[in-house]
Structure 1
Amino acid sequence: MNVAEPTTTVVDASGVGPGGITRTLTEVVRHWPAGQRLVVVAAPAGWQLPAGHVAEVELLSRQVAGRGQAIGRAAASLRAITGRLKPGARVLSMSPSAAILGSRLPVTTVVHDLAFRLWPHDLSAAVRRYRQISYGTAVRRSSLLICVSARTRHDLAGLYAVPEERTAVWHPGSDLAASPGDPPAPLVELRRRGGSWLVVAGHAPHKGVELAVDALPSLPGQVLVVLTGGNRVQRYDDAVRRAGVADRVLFLDHLPESQYAATVGGAAAFLMPSHFEGYGLPAAEALRLGTPTVVSPDPALHEATGGRAVRMTAWTPQALVAAVTEAAARPRPTPDRHGRSWRTSVAELADLIAASAGPRPAAARATR
């Protein structure tokens, strides 16, 4: 009896950088359906295959230094691997990248946000130019553009005139693979002394950490923990110095998942006062852990948290203080063990990709 070969999906990770996109790559690989094959191209330099993956996974290449060289090598890798795969194989690009020009197979691209158009502050002219190219390439060459929120789908339609039938909304999962362990040593000591902390996501300039820093003098007794994910943002250090609260702010580098869960799960509140979000995965994870959560007025954060977070009324320190006070007055949320899982989410993603693996689309209308 002939046994059918597993369906191969080539995962283009050349557009994956720090933050939630790396987390999404990890969970997609971990939970990709059994009996299928993944080939990962241009994974981030320090990224590792996750434990417990059930699909057959091959890590073909990693990103190299220098954007031009990295994209060139990723495109060459895609050209080589897609040229020798049998019909039925497909490409999943985890974030818009010009590397998909090398693909000889249909491409589905995940679009996390359009911040480079709607919140371009702190981006260099070179970065903005490259993202214009990479997003334009994704719009022209993708059979389907998968948006992580209705907000991102709306932005894609407005900025790139992409018709609705070429897009889909897909929400990531929010469960963590590891159970909470102990938080980092400074927080263990803080807890031993009876102190408490607030956590804020802070790996990018648009995360609004400066609002939390400026709010800190009105939140006595709290230490602000900034999760940098290994990407320290200078403007946040400057804000700490201006506010004179260096003794109450702790910057943490990339954390193992068990420490991340303990840090967020043990916080008095999780803050996400972002100026812009495409989704807001950390806020969804915080609620899943049972942590009171405060978000900015950004519509994607409201979507990601299902209306269960306390929403700031404005992007000001005063609005953040009021929201934290309201969150503290509410009963602490019960940890949600039945929310959207990564396993369910990734199964839906695999189904979307399988359904979209048709011929390449005609070029979309020019961007405005």
Structure 2
Amino acid sequence: MRLVVDALAADFGGIRTYVENLLAAWDEPGDELLVMVHEGSDLATGHHARCEVRIPRPGPVGRPLRQSVVTKRLVADFGADAVLATMPSTSLVRVGVPLAVVVHDLRHELRPEQFSRSRRLLRKVAYGRAYDLADVIIAVSQRSLDDLQRLHPHLRTTPSTVVHHGADHVLSWPEAVPSPAPRSGPAITFAHHTNKNPHLVLDAWAHGVSQGLDLPSLQVLGTGDQRNALNSRVSELGLTGLVTLAPYLPEAEFRQAMARASMIVFPSDFEGFGLPIVEGMLLGIPVVIGPEPASLEVAGGHAAVMSSFSAPGLAEAVARASRFDEERLTQAREHAARFTWRRSVAQTRAALAG
């Protein structure tokens, strides 16, 4: 199979993790991949060929227009059998071969208040066109596929499949211990998007302390522009010394923090997949999640689930997770071990071949 992979939007966050690990695991005999990245990108494409594309400014507008021209040309020059768009923001015209579009989540439609008006408009146009051009849709979770087909009922007739992410990349992290073992680090939670609910986590820690619960120390990652507000909240709640705030960490430091964590606290109220859930489980770390569809789907019954999105509900779930014994953590690790990038490649390839 000769495949053009559109990775022009894969420079940051979860989409970058997805693309880099998918490409690293893609070594099917006879397959040749040509990966489109933007000019100067440091996205790792492994042993696969790459084509750097200059994107006209402004990027959000210039990228789909440039993709439309370049993708069609590369398909012809490379003799591609198919195109894999790793985001539903790709060519605005038909490319001459089957197009597979990966759908991560529908947050811009279900939580529009979290996006600017201009970004919502751009996504509506670009994503809508990608959905309509897709010969097959690959969703990263059943939750995302259900959302897509509910909000865009005409897509129910488009061939679709669910391909979960892998988690086995964590096994190569320094200090990773892929078995149940006490961790010396703090509990880890996230603040890079509002759906991660960092303020709720702080309230839960304060509630737990007031109730005499034995809660671990807490580190909040990715505080960004919320840092001042979160720091004030830590002081107001009397959590100074128990809670530390961290910015976006370099990748090496992030991996070290995750591998050392005593718990992953992930009370997100909206996810497309929820990669930290299976990452934590595969590392043998107790995981706490909210009662959110994608999180429940990925966790498979092996996380401590909040009874509600409330401080008492989260504090109780954290206390429950801290009591997970070796058998419970082993079962969670065995569940997470099924999430491999080789499986993701095989299922993606099958969708393309079909």
Tell me the TM-score normalised to structure 1 length: 0.81
SS in 2 for 1:291: coil
* Partner Cα distance (1:147, 1:75) in 2: 22
User: Equivalent of 2:118, from 126, 147, 154?
Assistant: 126
User: Equivalent of 1:146, from 124, 133, 138?
Assistant: 138
1:94 counterpart = 2:86: yes
2:318 aligned partner, one-letter code:
V
CA contact (8 A) 2:61 2:122 kept: no
SS in 1 for 2:27: coil
Shift of 1:317: 2.1
Shift of 1:242: 2.7
The 5-angstrom pairing of residues 138-217 of structure 1 reads 138-161=130-153, 162-163=155-156, 165-176=158-169, 179-181=172-174, 196-217=185-206
Matched residue, 1:47: 42
The alpha-carbon distance between structure 1 residues 299 and 343, as it changes in their structure 2 partners (threshold 3 A), is same
CA contact (8 A) 1:270 1:283 kept: yes
Shift of 1:281: 1.2
* Partner Cα distance (1:62, 1:275) in 2: 37
The 5-angstrom pairing of residues 232-251 of structure 1 reads 232-235=223-226, 237-244=228-235, 245=239, 247=241, 248-251=243-246
Matched residue, 1:353: 352
1:256 aligned partner, one-letter code:
E
Shift of 1:125: 0.4
CA contact (8 A) 1:112 1:148 kept: yes
* Partner Cα distance (1:222, 1:237) in 2: 23
SS in 2 for 1:60: strand
What per-residue deviation string (whole Å, max 9, x for no partner) do you get for residues 320-367 of structure 1? 111100101221513448432111221221121121xxxxxxxxxxxx
What per-residue deviation string (whole Å, max 9, x for no partner) do you get for residues 142-183 of structure 1? 001111111111111110012155211111111115534259
Higher alpha-carbon deviation: 141-150 or 168-177: 168-177
Higher alpha-carbon deviation: 246-255 or 265-274: 246-255
2:60 aligned partner, one-letter code:
R
Matched residue, 2:342: 343
Unaligned runs of 5+ in 2: 177-181, 210-214
1:90 aligned partner, one-letter code:
A
* Partner Cα distance (2:264, 2:54) in 1: 33
* Partner Cα distance (2:165, 2:251) in 1: 20
Matched residue, 1:187: none
The alpha-carbon distance between structure 1 residues 214 and 308, as it changes in their structure 2 partners (threshold 3 A), is same
Shift of 1:219: 4.8
1:256 counterpart = 2:251: yes
CA RMSD of aligned residues (A): 2.7
User: Equivalent of 2:8, from 14, 26, 30?
Assistant: 14
SS in 2 for 1:213: helix
Unaligned runs of 5+ in 1: 1-6, 184-190, 356-368
SS in 1 for 2:101: strand
* Partner Cα distance (2:39, 2:240) in 1: 32
User: Equivalent of 2:294, from 287, 296, 300?
Assistant: 300
The alpha-carbon distance between structure 1 residues 260 and 118, as it changes in their structure 2 partners (threshold 3 A), is same
CA contact (8 A) 1:274 1:296 kept: yes
* Partner Cα distance (1:223, 1:62) in 2: 46
Shift of 1:75: 2.6
CA contact (8 A) 1:98 1:133 kept: no
CA contact (8 A) 1:18 1:203 kept: no
The alpha-carbon distance between structure 1 residues 40 and 325, as it changes in their structure 2 partners (threshold 3 A), is same
Aligned length: 332
CA contact (8 A) 2:167 2:340 kept: yes
What per-residue deviation string (whole Å, max 9, x for no partner) do you get for residues 263-311 of structure 1? 2232221011112011111111111111100011101101011111111
* Partner Cα distance (1:12, 1:156) in 2: 21
Shift of 1:113: 0.6
User: Equivalent of 1:27, from 14, 21, 24?
Assistant: 21
* Partner Cα distance (1:209, 1:31) in 2: 33
Tell me the TM-score normalised to structure 2 length: 0.84
Shift of 1:65: 6.0
The alpha-carbon distance between structure 1 residues 14 and 286, as it changes in their structure 2 partners (threshold 3 A), is same
CA contact (8 A) 2:189 2:220 kept: yes
User: Equivalent of 1:315, from 268, 286, 309?
Assistant: 309
The alpha-carbon distance between structure 1 residues 291 and 351, as it changes in their structure 2 partners (threshold 3 A), is same
1:217 aligned partner, one-letter code:
A
The alpha-carbon distance between structure 1 residues 296 and 45, as it changes in their structure 2 partners (threshold 3 A), is farther
Shift of 1:261: 4.1
User: Equivalent of 1:74, from 67, 78, 102?
Assistant: 67
Higher alpha-carbon deviation: 164-173 or 300-309: 164-173
2:127 aligned partner, one-letter code:
Y
Higher alpha-carbon deviation: 105-114 or 60-69: 60-69
1:346 aligned partner, one-letter code:
V
What per-residue deviation string (whole Å, max 9, x for no partner) do you get for residues 58-91 of structure 1? 24336676311233333322132123243x5211
CA contact (8 A) 2:227 2:245 kept: no
